[in-house]
C-alpha cells in the first residue's frame, strides 16, 4: 500500500473515479482517505492544463503546511494516478512528510509539476477546476479558512 498526498483534483474522489472510468481503468482502490497536511509546502498556480482549460494546482517548498487529503492506495491505483498526472514527464513525485488528521506522521507520494513545465506568473484555474478543489476540500472537512482561500481564487473564465 502507498500513501499519496492529494492537493488538487485528486482530493475529489468523484472526479478521480470519472477520470478512471473514461479511460476504461479499474476503479480506484482507496483503503483510507482523510484530511492531512503536507509539511513544508504551499499551493502555487504556475502550470496550464489543456485538459482542465486553465491553471492547475502545483506545490512548492514553503515555511508552511498545505492542507489536503491523504489517500492510502494499492499499487494499481498508484500506477493509475501516475498516468493521470503524466508521471514522470509532466509531474514528478517524491516521498514527503505528511501529518494525518489524527496527528500520525507518514511518508506520502506528492506530485509536483516538473520545472520545465512551470510558467511565469499566476495561471488562473477554470471555474470548473476550482469547484472540484472546493468540493474535495469541503467533503474532507479541510480547515474553513483554506476552503475560503480556494473559493476566493480568481478564475480564467
Predicted TM-score (pTM) of this structure: 0.96
Backbone angles phi, psi at 49, to 5 degrees: -115, 120
Backbone angles phi, psi at 83, to 5 degrees: -65, -45
**Torsion (CA) 29, 106, 70, 94 in degrees, nearest 10:** -90
15-28: per-residue pLDDT in tens? Answer: 999 999 999 999 99
79-131: per-residue pLDDT in tens? Answer: 999 999 999 999 999 999 999 999 999 999 999 999 999 999 999 999 999 99
How many residues does this entry show for the chain?
157
CATH number, domain 2-130, options 3.40.50.300, 3.10.490.10, 3.90.226.10, 3.10.250.10: 3.10.490.10
88-123 core/surface letters (b: 16 or more CB in 10 A; e: else): eeebebeebbbbbeeeeeeebbbbbbeeeeeeeeeb
29-73: per-residue pLDDT in tens? Answer: 999 999 999 999 999 999 999 999 999 999 999 999 999 999 999
The mean pLDDT value for 138-155 works out to: 98
CA distance 71 to 13: 10
Domain definitions of the chain by residue range: 2-130
**Which pLDDT value is given to residue 83?**
96
Amino acid at each position: 500500500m502507498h500513501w499519496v498526498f492529494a492537493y488538487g483534483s485528486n482530493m475529489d474522489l468523484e472526479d478521480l473515479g470519472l477520470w478512471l472510468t473514461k479511460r476504461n481503468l479499474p476503479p480506484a482502490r482507496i483503503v483510507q482517505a482523510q484530511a492531512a497536511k503536507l509539511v513544508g509546502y504551499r499551493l502555487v498556480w504556475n502550470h496550464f492544463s489543456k485538459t482542465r482549460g486553465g491553471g492547475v494546482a502545483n506545490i512548492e517548498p514553503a515555511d508552511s503546511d498545505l492542507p489536503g487529503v491523504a489517500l492510502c492506495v494499492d499499487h494499481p491505483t498508484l500506477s493509475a494516478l501516475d498516468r493521470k498526472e503524466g508521471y514522470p514527464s509532466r509531474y514528478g513525485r517524491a516521498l514527503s512528510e505528511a501529518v494525518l488528521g489524527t496527528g500520525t506522521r507518514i511518508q506520502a507520494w506528492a506530485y509536483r509539476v516538473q520545472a520545465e513545465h512551470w510558467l511565469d506568473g499566476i495561471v488562473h484555474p477554470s471555474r470548473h477546476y476550482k469547484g472540484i478543489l472546493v468540493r474535495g476540500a469541503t467533503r474532507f472537512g479541510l480547515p474553513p479558512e483554506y476552503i475560503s482561500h480556494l473559493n476566493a481564487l480568481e478564475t480564467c473564465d
